[in-house]
Chain A
Amino acid sequence: MTGELALILVWPALAGYTEAAIAYLGDSMRPGRLSRWAIWGVRLGWLAQTALLVAQAARAEGFPWGTWAGSLNLFVWLVVGAYLIWGCRAPFRLLGVAIMPLAAVLFAVAWVAGGAETNRASELGDVFLALHVGLILAAFAGFTLAAGLAGLYLWQERRLKARAPGVLRQRAPSQAALDALTGRTIAVALPALTLGVAVGLARLGSEGGGFDAIMAVALVTWAVYAGFLLLRYEAGWRGRRSAYLALAAFALVAVALVPVTHF
């Protein structure tokens, strides 16, 4: 029964995200035709995934997303949710080309690895863990979006510099908006990461336990993004340099995080 419920909710979510990914790709080739389909795919997929998360939370005795696959499921939900805040606005739809294929693939991976099942519960089911994982995942969702925005900035800058005749046919945010949003997203995500790490360290102090590789990656991530904000707001790094920095920081964190969570 629990497996059936998961299946009932996973399929619409996956179908919605996949449809949105395909529609966004189509829309990037022929602007204006498929964007409505794409945004509805995102909305319906996200609603189905929300229902899945609610079902998981209702059925689990502890924190249901303590495994890496469960965390990935929650992470995808946070990324798509954050994207929905802007994605409905026409100029930001283009960001869906980067976000939705990634969301569809990661959600499928989370499902295959058992992160979408409704009877799973972490052995470490306390409020501290929920806060710790929730905040850190929210921060990573923010960093992912910031990387998407930075990528979009560089893509558009290339088109503007190349003086592509069709540069205005594709609706996109201005360079200034993309640059500012990248900085702001990281400025919001970093405090969430700080709080998440602090909660984790407090829990470690009260319950005992060793300092592991995931904690090290979290601290490195904190240092990298704190460096980003320092360079941006103190040293005046803007535009292309700021975008490369946001992408490099994200790549570094992603490369460090994948082996640490898998092995």
Chain B
Amino acid sequence: MHLVLVGTSHHRAPVELREQLYVTAAENGEFVRRLAAGEGEAVALSTCNRTELYLVDADPGAAQERAFAELAALGNLSETEIAGSLYTLTDEAAALHLFRVAASLDSMIPGEAQILGQVRGAYEAAREAGTAGRISHRLLRQALRVGRRVRSETAIGENPASISSAAAELAERVFGSLEGRRILVLGAGKMSDLAAVNLLSRGVESVFVANRSVEKAERLARRFGGRAAGLDAVEGELEQVDIVVASTSARGYVLSAEQVERVMRKRRGRPIFFVDLAVPRDVDPAVNEIEGCYLYDVDDLARVVEESVAGRREEASRAEAIVVEEADSFRAWRLSLDVVPAIASLRALAESIRTSELERAEGRLESLSPSERRAVESLTAQIVNKLLHVPTVRMKQAAAAADGVLYADAVRHLFDLDDAAKARKPGE
């Protein structure tokens, strides 16, 4: 049986094509049932960055054709239209690719956390549809393990990869959890909106929006369930808030160091974290010198993100080593499948010879006491086990070294096990 991957991703296809080839969660079950075509196995992993079909089939060419046809039908396109954007990988290369995907090494931003959940979703959909067989069970479970290992054994996903998440993580470095914190948003533009959304997703309790146009401020405040006012109310609000996000289009500073100093005297040592996303800047840089005030402008945040992405890349090389190790283990397991039926047949043959010989000698063994009888049973079973131990170990070793099929065929030939091999079901 062969593992075949046919798919496309952000490396090969523009977003327009990826949209067309997207398999929704609702249609995933039916889609993989068509792909599996009866006795085969199929898993479809579809995210905003990729659609990848993993098939297990005795004939890799037929599996590839089925995958091409289904993808073309999905996107209402001809096979020739999509052929240039698709890649095909088989066996170990396909497994290695899935492990890299689960480890987020193939993602746009290495270390992103969503992909592992998406792989899990694809696996569950295939299980529910009944298209996950022996090989895909092992493949997907191992992919999930790779993802977990990479996240726990490396720091690939630990640091922020965007300006707004960097601002939120820095705020967490100051305050710990952001649960129950209050933010003041200066300006009602897109940048403030993004930063506020990120902070709210981390548990920020209330938002106060201040803007030159109160109407715009109210519109943004309504989105977050917060309050709004004009810029003249800022100093009063500063006494209450923990985080200030500034992105107005004002020409000069909206917050001066003197204003902040006055406020800090009333706060009894409670810190404030300022995020100044505006250009020209809204917050006087001297604010950073005031005790209890931390000020980051857009360049500072960009440098933090750059450093963090560089850190992720460094960690990626450690993650690659984990992926290779797991891919080797999958390869050894898959190759062992070639010899397992031969070993099982050989052992079954030996056991049948042992029991039939004992039955033939029944007349001569009648005089034995029950304990002597048990001793004979045990002795013959031990002889069989000892005789088969070394050949079994050698066949498994050969399987790992890719000679397994040759050994298995030799054993089948020597012991006349051909029928047992033929009787083996695909995928077993």
Query: Chain A: residues with CB nearer than 8 A to chain B?
Result: 31-32, 156, 160-161, 163, 165-169, 171-177, 236-242
Contact = CB atoms under 8 A, between A and B. Distances in A.
7 contacts: A31-B155, A163-B300, A163-B304, A165-B306, A174-B172, A239-B271, A239-B291
Contacts of B172: 174
B295 to A, nearest CB: 8
A172 B173 contact: yes
A168 B171 CA distance: 11
Contacts of A176: 174-176, 271
Contacts of A156: 173
A238 B269 contact: yes
Interface in B291-349: 291-292, 294, 296, 300, 303-304, 306-308, 311, 315
B294 A168 contact: no
Contacts of A238: 268-270, 292
Q: Name the residue in A156, A176, A177, A237 with the highest tally of chain B Cβ atoms < 10 Å from its Cβ.
A: A176
Contacts of A173: 176
B304 A239 contact: no
Given A176-B175, A239-B291, A169 B271 contact: no
Contacts of A163: 288, 296, 300, 303-304
A163 B305 CA distance: 12
A168 B160 CA distance: 8
B209 interface: no
A31 B170 CA distance: 18
B271 A167 contact: no
Contact of B308 (A168, A171, A177, A236): A168
B57 interface: no
B169 interface: yes
Q: Is the interface of A mostly helix, strand, loop or mixed?
A: loop
Interface in B154-192: 154-155, 158-160, 166, 169-170, 172-176
Interface residues of B, number: 30
Contact of B311 (A160, A169, A172, A236): A169
Q: Name the residue in B176, B291, B308 with the highest tally of chain A Cβ atoms < 10 Å from its Cβ.
A: B176
Given A169-B155, A169-B308, 9 more contacts: A31-B155, A156-B173, A166-B307, A167-B170, A168-B166, A169-B159, A169-B307, A176-B174, A238-B270
A173 B176 CA distance: 7
Interface of B: 154-155, 158-160, 166, 169-170, 172-176, 268-271, 288, 291-292, 294, 296, 300, 303-304, 306-308, 311, 315
A177 B307 contact: no
A87 B268 CA distance: 30
A211 B372 CA distance: 88
B157 to A, nearest CB: 12
A167 B173 contact: yes
Contacts of B176: 173-174, 176-177
A161 B288 contact: yes
Which 6 pairs of residues, A with B, have the shortest CB-CB distance? A238-B269, A174-B176, A236-B268, A165-B307, A165-B303, A163-B300
A240 B291 contact: yes
B8 to A, nearest CB: 34
A237 B170 contact: no
A175 B308 CA distance: 20
A241 B173 contact: no
Contacts, number: 73
A40 B268 CA distance: 41
A121 B77 CA distance: 90
Contacts of A241: 269, 291
B291 A168 contact: no
B155 A168 contact: no
A238 B175 CA distance: 13
A175 B269 contact: no
B306 A236 contact: no
B18 to A, nearest CB: 31
B332 to A, nearest CB: 27
A44 to B, nearest CB: 22
Contacts of B175: 174-176
Contacts of A172: 173
B154 A160 contact: no
Contacts of B170: 160, 167-168
B159 A175 contact: no
Contacts of B315: 32
A53 to B, nearest CB: 35
B330 to A, nearest CB: 26
B246 to A, nearest CB: 16
Given A156-B173, A160-B170, A168 B269 contact: no
Q: Name the residue in A165, A174, A238, A239 with the highest tally of chain B Cβ atoms < 10 Å from its Cβ.
A: A165
Nearest to B160: A168
Nearest to B154: A32
A167 B268 CA distance: 26
A113 B306 CA distance: 51
Contacts of A239: 269, 271, 291-292
A165 B269 contact: no
B303 to A, nearest CB: 4
Contacts of B303: 163, 165
A165 B305 CA distance: 8
A40 to B, nearest CB: 16
B395 to A, nearest CB: 38
B100 to A, nearest CB: 21
B243 to A, nearest CB: 13
A32 B153 CA distance: 9
Nearest to B296: A163
Contacts of A165: 303-304, 306-307
Contacts of B173: 156, 160, 167-168, 172, 174-175
Nearest to A177: B176
Given A32-B155, A168-B308, A169-B307, A175 B174 contact: yes
Nearest to B174: A175
Given A165-B303, A172-B173, A175-B173, A160 B268 contact: no
A32 B169 CA distance: 18
A237 to B, nearest CB: 7
Contacts of A169: 155, 158-159, 307-308, 311
